Each structure stands twice: as structure tokens, then as C-alpha cells.
Structure 1
Amino acid sequence: MNFDDTGLALTHVTVIDVVGGRSLPDQTVLVADGAITAVGPASQVVIPPGATVHDLRGRYVIPGLTDMHVHSEPGPDDERRLPALYIANGVTMVREMWGRPLLHEWRRRTSAGEMIGPRSIIASPIVDGAPALWSDIPIDAPIISVTTEREARRAVGVAKDGGADFVKVYSRLEPEPYFALLAEAAAQDMTVVGHRCDRVPLRDQLGAGQRSFEHVHGLWPATSTDVERMEAAMARISPRPGFYYADWFKQVNEVEWESVNRYSGASATSLFERMVAEDVAYCPTLVMHAAVDLPEWMRLDDERFAYMAPDVPDMWTFVRGQIFHGGGRSADEEAKRRTLFDHRRAAVAAMDEAGVRLLAGTDAVTPGLFPGFALHEELELLVSAGLTRMRALQTATIEPARFLGREQTCGSVDPGKLADLVVVDADPLADIRNTRRIHAVVAAGRYIGPDERRALLDGVAALTATAPGVEGA
């Protein structure tokens, strides 16, 4: 992405300092060569000759946002759709959780300035056991299924040779391949992240080398009054063929419900303290759980479908019926799901209170989630769970930077950092929903003002409106 060679000056803004946890009013932020060169009081910062000045008095600057759990599933026109939606929503970096070759091409083209898009951290293909949960449906995404220690070690080499930034492990790995993979990844200096493994007690996975865990549904057995019994129930899950993932999901839900009804505050506290001690991060993806647990969350009349591919509403309807709702939920089941969602939020608050490093992620493009937009919903859910507005912002800015080892180059509005910024019209520390009120985005030093941002969104909508098969196209 090409930056403005003449430099930028964002004047009279309030800078949200996510490292110091404070607001800095009436600041000037200088940008040149894709980096922040100065931040200070507007009365003291000297604007270089030739710089493009944007008077932003009354507005607020936050670091560019990071979504730490996305699945960009490239389809027709998606290279013009998904990256633009992220940038228009102030998401300037994403962690892609299912690697595939085209994502590496997108990253190359973005870095070369050939397309607008976020910086990306890209996973390996999913590494799962056998049968792999997504192996019996037609999807254009690579899966590595391993059943032996040798295969697990080889999977790490495949990931590294393919240019992956980290190894993504999935739910059905057996203990021996799982631990062999972690040992090989450590030897090859590869980070491992992903799901908890059904067959390995969660406490045994902490400290074994996996650096982050995703979603809240694997948490509950380890927080119960009878950890050993509930972990054994988790290990007995055996997906049946036909649609492995859907059957697995139903069985996980059953273990979830029993575990939650045996919840132990002492077990949870012990688990979260272990996470802190082992410096393990957690990416709860509450917005994904909202889409799964709360029937009203997924609305097929949402105006944001204007930015999605034409076949998305039908796909969402299918997934909601066959996976989320398992062919239909009774009133009792709906009540259980709402209770589970309340427990998920409470667990996230407890993790935050214990000092667990939380990472904001969405699981977009899970049905019910709109890429880019969903991260703002995740921030709102984190605040509703009990995080302060500053902590919520940190989970999408400085905490991802620290987790990725990039805190010296991104994650905050400081001199020397990459110029990835979001200008909003109102204070996000007064109301986290104000992160949605985007005035402008600075992506790799390029200023995308209101008109260009609107044009990005309009261009994505035009892709949908003119897609083959759309009435009037």
C-alpha cells in the first residue's frame, strides 16, 4: 500500500494512549514514509513544509485495530471485497486462521501497493486428527490430518516451507501427535495456536507450548467441580460421518452444558492463574458465540448483506439450521444457549480480572458475522462482559502487537510505530460504540478520508449488485 510521500499532519486530535491508559487532548500526529514520526501537543509540534494537513479538532485517534481471528475464504471478487471491508472498518491487521496460498498472494499485493488491505499474519493449513472435522464437506482449503508423531512433526515442516507464520492446531488431535507437534514447532521456532484438543485435558495443554487458545466452548470441563470426569467426557466425543463438524459441535454442546452446571469458581481461578503463569493468551470470539447462541443475532434482513457475496444469505440459513441449531431448537434448548452465553461473558470477565492476556477476534466469516464490522461488535461484547473500555481497546491494539512480538512497531500511537491509525468522531472511552464512528483511516501511512472510505464501501456494494445471477445485474 503506497504511503503519502509528502507526509501527513493530523492536527488538534485527542490521542488515545493504549499503553499509558490515558487520553492526550489537542495533539498533532506526524506521519512520513509510512511511519509515525512525531506525537505531541499541537502548540509544540512543528509541521514540516509540504505536509498534507488534516485539521481534526474534536476527533479522536486510536491505533489501527487488529482482528486476531479471521477466515478470509477467497471467492469471486473477494480480493476486492474482504480487504476493503477491513480497511473501511479501521481493521489494519488480521490474523488469518486457516492458511491457503491465495492469502499469501493477497499479502504480497498489499505490501506492494497493488491492492488496499490489512497487514496479515497467516496460519498453516489446519492440522487436525482423523477424521478431520472438515474433511467430509467440499471446501477449498487445505487440511493436514495427522495420527502419528512422525506425521505431526512433518506437518510443522510443511507449514514452515509453505510460508506460514504459525501452526494452527484443531480439535481432534490425539495426545501423542499433539505433543510431538509442539516439540517440533519449538525446535523450528514456529508458534502454535488454535483450538484446545478434545483428547488432551486443557490444563495439560497450558505450558506445553501452545501460545493462544480460541473460543470459549472448550473451557468448561477445566472449570468444573469434577475436572477429571468432564475432561473424560470431552475425550469421549466421537463425531459421526455425514457432517463431522455438525455432529462434533452438537456433542461439544452437551459437554458444555453439563460442565457449566458443575462450574467451580476455585477451578476457574486456578486455571486462569495457570494461563497467566504460562503467558498463554485467550481469544474468546464472543461475537461468534453470540451468533451461535442467540437466535436474534443473525438477521437475514441486515443491510450489511449489501457488502457480501449474493449467495451468503442462503449459506447462512443452511449453517444456522444444520450446525448452529441442529435442525431446530426447542424453547428449553434456546434457554440453555442463552445461559451458556452469559457464562461465556462471565468467564471472559474473570480471565481479564485474573490478568489473562485477551485478544480481540471474531471468527469472521462465520455465519452471522460481517468482516470488519464484527470486530466493533466484539469490542462491545467485551465491554458488556465487564472489561473497561480501555481494556477492550487494548485487546484489539497493543495486546495483539505484544502477542505477535511487534510491540516495537505497531499497536499504539507512538513515534517510530507504523502509521496504522483510525480517526473517530467521538470518544471510545466514553462509549465503546464510538469505534464505529469512523471519520478516516490511515493504513500504512495512506490517509483514507471520508470520501475515499465511502467509495471503498460503495465499490464493495457494487460488486454484490452486479454479480451474476443478481436481479437487475
Structure 2
Amino acid sequence: MSLMAVAARAVPESDHRTVVITDVTIVDVEGGRTVGPRTVVVKDGRIASIDAKGSVPVGDSIQRVDGRGRFLMPGLMDMHVHLFNLSSHRPPNDWSFRMYIANGVTGVRDMRSDAASMQLVKRWRAAVDSGQLVAPHIVAAGISVYGKSPDGAKADVDAAVDAGADFIKVFSEVPATHWRAILTEANARSLPVVGHVPASISLLDAANAGQRTGEHLTQVYEACSSAEAKILAERQGLQGDALMSRASAQEAEILGTFDQGVCGRMARALAATGQVQVPTLVLADEDELARHAQPNDDYRWRLLRPDEQRRCQRFLAQYTKEDASLAARRWPIAHNIVSMLHRAGVPIMAGTDAPMPGVYPGYSLHEELQLLVASGLAPIEALRTATLEPARFLHIQDISGSVAVGKQADLVLLDADPTKDIGNTQRIRAVVLAGRLLERSDLDALLNDAAKAPP
């Protein structure tokens, strides 16, 4: 069964009706509070009104939802996912769509497309907008650029612009000369550069030069080391696999020279640049998976496509004691770093790198929010990392990121208050996707039908 067929079965026949959620408490992520009770009316895919009292529309075209004792928050956005498998040449990860929506993730940023896959992104976007496909909005999709030379890198940026990319993605192994050429050309073409801070560039140099995001805390660990200058000097002149091999060999030294004072000064300097960090703390779940569990013991395992299950099993087979030892050292430092970044005022967005092994699409974003709270963010602050901060970063805050009149109706109805306990984001009663209501039974059917579908 195709994903569109599964999606069609999951959408209620009345999905074009006006939706009225009565007596609900609104999670105001912008104001940092809860407000209610309110009656929220959704019409034509937008929030038409929010009223404390007043008449409730009635009629056959109305879908009424009782919001008493429940909480309405904006749909969540995962700002680091992969919908394509360009290196392994496997089919796209559209199997993950059902998992995102069932978990209230109504928007994703795809971190590595190419010219051909950008055409599929456009078709997916149109299908979601028309109601033919139950899937998250692809709020941004980028193309990675390396280049065989600095001039080649510039040409690749131009090709990415022509293909319709929303941003340029760079990886750690990109040489400094190529990276500078990418930044210059992308700036000239008004396209942001995001991704890994290259392993031969310091974090602050990258931020000051205009790289808009850092992903996975790349180069942040180095910037928090008292030996950063020495470590980066040892990487100069290297590129590609040689550069990454040197960086990998240095990790124990980097972790061993973590310095709280150095890190605090770096965080304050980084905040002044405006660069946004996407820590993807949930990637540590890979290590948890490798140390303690058989993946098929997880109830979510059945939702993975068979080739994705095989990928996960290969990862586990290659995981070594040395990997586990480094992970154990890295984990508390990562928490410490995120805490200092947050206190210094560095913008943080929630992302997961799904579907990395052990990182389940949709589910993992809730885990990321919990890890951010464990790193010092208040629950309402963690919610902003997956709602308001992404909307501001993408310059779509006028239509997304909070529950307000006129905004696109991407909403999640919860049975408990997420501002009191961030774990309550998982207590999902219903999801509204571009104005279409998916109740709990619809979300369960979406997962169950898709799990039974042949690969």
C-alpha cells in the first residue's frame, strides 16, 4: 500500500469541516504562560478566532472537540531530519511521515536533498497542502555543497539555488577554502549556509563569518577546550577523510580538556553573533541502544521500513567498547554545554537527526525536548525550541510557531499541561494539520495501517 493510500484512510471524511475546540487552555509559547479556557475556531486551514466566551458555531459542517481539561499548543517542528538517503541510494524516507504526524510533529527541516529530490519535496508539499497526503510540512529543504575546488563549490551553490534549495548545507569535512567560497557565493545568492561547522574552522570564526546554524555541537566541544588552538592547528592542511580521521583521533583529548570558564566565555561571544545551535542531544540514544537493548524489543521497531531496520542492525554490529567509553564521557559535557549556551542567550532549536539508528521519527523529538529540560531549559523554553524559535529562524512567525488568530492551524491537543511536565507533550489527544482534524483513533489507525503496509 502506498503512503498516500494509507494517509487517505487516516484522514476523516469530514476533514474539510470547520473545527471548533471548546473550553481549552492555550499554551502561549510567546508569552510563556497558559491561557484559558478559550474556544478556538479553525476554518479554511487557519485559526479564525479565539474567544473566552461567545456563541459556538453549530451545523453539519462543524467538527466540535471538547477541550475541557486539555491543552492546545502549536504543532512541533523537528529542525534536523533526513528524508533522503543520498549516500546509500535507498528510497526516500516517506515511511516516516506517519510517525511525525502521530507525534504532533507538523513541520520538519530536511537537511540533505539534491536537485532530483527537491522535485519530490515540491510534490510532497503540494500534496500536503491539498489534503492528499498526511505528512509534516517540509518547512525547509537544503542541498549539501562540497565542491572539487573553491570555484567548483561556488558553481555548486549556484546549481543548488537553481534547483530550489532553501539553504546550503555544509559538512565537517569541507576544506576551509571551499567553505569560504560557499559562504561568499551563498551570500551573493541570498541563501543561508547552515550545518556542521567545518572541522578546520573555529566555531566563533564560522559564526562571525555568517554560518547561520551549528548542528550536533560540531566544533562547540573544541571551542570549550583549553587546547582548541593546538587541536585546530593539527588539522590545518587536511581535508576530506584525512581531516575527519584526525578529528576523530583527537576526541578523547578534546573531552579531557573541557574547561568551564573557556566554555562560558565562548557561549557569551557566540550569543553576540546570532548563530543558532541545533544540539541533537537525542543522538546519544544511539549509544543507549547499543549498550542496553535489542532494537526489536522496542514497540516502534515495527514502524521502520525493512531496509532501515537492517541499517540499524549494522550500526549495532559495528559499535565498539571504545565508542561506548567516549559516549559516556561526551554525554555529561554535552548537557553542560547546552546549559551554558542557553544561559548565555544562544538561540537553540530542537532537532533529532532522525532516522539515525535508534532515533525514531516523531518520537525522538519528544525525547529531545526532555533532554533540553534536563540541560536547564524550563518546559516552556524547551517548547519554544520546537515552535517559536524555528518559526523566527525561518521568518514564518507571522503564520506559524504559536496559537494565534490568522496563523496556519497546525496544532496539538494534549491531555495534560506541557508547561508543568515536558513529558506531557506525548499525551496527544488530537492533531490539527493545516486545519484538518486527526483524532486519537485516526492517529492510531495511521500508524497501524502503515506498519502493515508492504515495503
Q: TM-score, normalised by structure 1?
A: 0.86
Residue 105 (structure 1) aligned to one of 123, 127, 141: 123
1:7 aligns to 2:25 (yes or no): no
**Distance apart, 1:453 and its partner CA:** 1.0
In the other structure, the counterpart of 2:354 is 364
For structure 1, the 5+ residue unaligned runs are: 129-145, 468-473
Contact 2:379–2:419 (8 Å) recurs in 1:
yes
Contact 1:147–1:174 (8 Å) recurs in 2:
no
Contact 2:174–2:198 (8 Å) recurs in 1:
yes
In the other structure, the counterpart of 2:380 is 390
**For the structure 1 residues 127 and 298, does the alpha-carbon distance in structure 2 shift closer, same or farther, using more than 3 Å as the test?**
farther
**Distance apart, 1:148 and its partner CA:** 2.4
CA distance in 2, matches of 1:292, 1:414: 40
In the other structure, the counterpart of 1:179 is 180
* Residues 233-288 of structure 1: CA deviation (Å, up to 9, x unaligned): 45476665xxx8xx93x653432321222122232122212221111100000001
CA distance in 2, matches of 1:384, 1:237: 37
1:421 aligns to 2:411 (yes or no): yes
In the other structure, the counterpart of 1:279 is 274
CA distance in 2, matches of 1:359, 1:406: 15
Residue 321 (structure 2) aligned to one of 313, 325, 329: 329
CA distance in 1, matches of 2:260, 2:16: 55
**For the structure 1 residues 254 and 40, does the alpha-carbon distance in structure 2 shift closer, same or farther, using more than 3 Å as the test?**
farther
SS of the residue 1:19 aligns to? coil
CA distance in 1, matches of 2:108, 2:292: 23
2:139 alignment partner AA: I
**For the structure 1 residues 211 and 76, does the alpha-carbon distance in structure 2 shift closer, same or farther, using more than 3 Å as the test?**
closer
The total of aligned residue pairs comes to 433
**Distance apart, 1:76 and its partner CA:** 5.8
* Residues 33-65 of structure 1: CA deviation (Å, up to 9, x unaligned): 111122232xx2433343321112111111000
C-alpha RMSD over aligned residues: 2.3
In the other structure, the counterpart of 2:223 is 222
Contact 2:286–2:357 (8 Å) recurs in 1:
yes
In the other structure, the counterpart of 1:46 is 55
1:162 aligns to 2:163 (yes or no): yes
Alignment of 1:312-461 (within 5 A): 312-322=308-318, 325=319, 328-330=320-322, 334-461=324-451
CA distance in 1, matches of 2:267, 2:54: 44
Residue 120 (structure 1) aligned to one of 132, 135, 138: 138
2:20 alignment partner AA: A
1:94 aligns to 2:105 (yes or no): no
In the other structure, the counterpart of 2:202 is 201
**Distance apart, 1:390 and its partner CA:** 0.8
**Distance apart, 1:298 and its partner CA:** 5.8
Contact 2:25–2:37 (8 Å) recurs in 1:
yes
Residue 251 (structure 2) aligned to one of 236, 247, 256: 256
* Residues 16-39 of structure 1: CA deviation (Å, up to 9, x unaligned): 100000011311111111111222
**Distance apart, 1:421 and its partner CA:** 0.3
CA distance in 1, matches of 2:184, 2:407: 34
CA distance in 1, matches of 2:92, 2:193: 31
* Residues 347-369 of structure 1: CA deviation (Å, up to 9, x unaligned): 11111111110000000011111
**For the structure 1 residues 57 and 152, does the alpha-carbon distance in structure 2 shift closer, same or farther, using more than 3 Å as the test?**
same
CA distance in 2, matches of 1:390, 1:122: 24
SS of the residue 1:357 aligns to? coil
**For the structure 1 residues 217 and 321, does the alpha-carbon distance in structure 2 shift closer, same or farther, using more than 3 Å as the test?**
farther
Q: Percent of counterpart pairs with the same letter?
A: 36
In the other structure, the counterpart of 1:269 is 264
CA distance in 2, matches of 1:199, 1:297: 35
**For the structure 1 residues 157 and 238, does the alpha-carbon distance in structure 2 shift closer, same or farther, using more than 3 Å as the test?**
closer
**For the structure 1 residues 168 and 292, does the alpha-carbon distance in structure 2 shift closer, same or farther, using more than 3 Å as the test?**
farther
**Distance apart, 1:88 and its partner CA:** 1.0
* Residues 74-111 of structure 1: CA deviation (Å, up to 9, x unaligned): 756953x2212111110000000011413333223222
* Residues 406-444 of structure 1: CA deviation (Å, up to 9, x unaligned): 111100011111100001111112211111111100000
CA distance in 1, matches of 2:313, 2:449: 26
**For the structure 1 residues 234 and 263, does the alpha-carbon distance in structure 2 shift closer, same or farther, using more than 3 Å as the test?**
farther
CA distance in 1, matches of 2:201, 2:441: 52
Question: If each structure's helix is expressed as a fraction of its own residues, which one has the higher value?
Answer: 2
CA distance in 2, matches of 1:111, 1:14: 27
Residue 80 (structure 2) aligned to one of 65, 69, 88: 69
SS of the residue 2:212 aligns to? strand
In the other structure, the counterpart of 1:134 is none
**For the structure 1 residues 271 and 147, does the alpha-carbon distance in structure 2 shift closer, same or farther, using more than 3 Å as the test?**
farther
In the other structure, the counterpart of 1:16 is 27
CA distance in 2, matches of 1:459, 1:267: 52
Query: Which range moves more in the overlay, 388-397 or 180-189?
Result: 180-189
CA distance in 2, matches of 1:287, 1:237: 30
**For the structure 1 residues 430 and 124, does the alpha-carbon distance in structure 2 shift closer, same or farther, using more than 3 Å as the test?**
closer
2:142 alignment partner AA: S
Query: Which range moves more in the overlay, 353-362 or 257-266?
Result: 257-266
SS of the residue 1:455 aligns to? helix
Q: TM-score, normalised by structure 2?
A: 0.89
CA distance in 1, matches of 2:76, 2:292: 23
**Distance apart, 1:217 and its partner CA:** 4.3
SS of the residue 2:145 aligns to? strand
In the other structure, the counterpart of 2:304 is 308
In the other structure, the counterpart of 1:139 is none
CA distance in 2, matches of 1:294, 1:251: 27
CA distance in 1, matches of 2:239, 2:153: 21
For structure 2, the 5+ residue unaligned runs are: 1-6
Contact 1:206–1:274 (8 Å) recurs in 2:
no
SS of the residue 2:396 aligns to? coil
Contact 1:257–1:340 (8 Å) recurs in 2:
no
In the other structure, the counterpart of 1:143 is none
CA distance in 1, matches of 2:164, 2:240: 32
1:62 alignment partner AA: M
